[in-house]
Amino acid sequence: MTSTSIIAYLALIAAISLAGGVAPLARKWSKSQLTLLVSAGAGVLLGAAFLHLIPVAVESLGHRAGFPLLAGFLAISILEKFFLLDPCEEVGCRIHRFGFAAFLGISFHSLLDGAAVGSSLIVPNLAVPVFAAIAVHKVPAAFSLCSILLLAGYTRRRTFLHVIGFSLATPVGAVIAFLFLKGVDPAVVGGAIGVSAGSFIAIATSDLLPQLHGEGVSRGRSLLSLLIGIAVMVLSAIGLDAH
How high is the pLDDT of residue 127? 78
Question: In this predicted structure, what is the pLDDT of residue 91?
Answer: 37
CB 219 within 8 A of CB 86: no
pLDDT of residue 242: 53
> What pLDDT is stored for residue 90 in this prediction?
34
Mean pLDDT by 10 residues, the chain (243 residues): 77 86 72 72 83 86 93 83 50 45 66 77 76 73 71 77 87 85 80 84 78 66 86 76 55
Q: Give the Cα separation of 60 and 9 in Å (integer).
A: 25
Q: Which of 239, 237, 242 lies closest to 47 in space, CA to CA? A: 237
pLDDT at residue 50 in the model: 92
First and final C-alpha spacing in the chain: 17
For residue 98, the model assigns a pLDDT of 44
- CA gap 179, 187 in Å, rounded: 16
pLDDT of 110:
75
Smallest CA-to-CA distance from 101 within 171, 152, 156 is with 152
Residue 72 near residue 198 (C-beta atoms within 8 A):
yes
What's the pLDDT at 65?
93
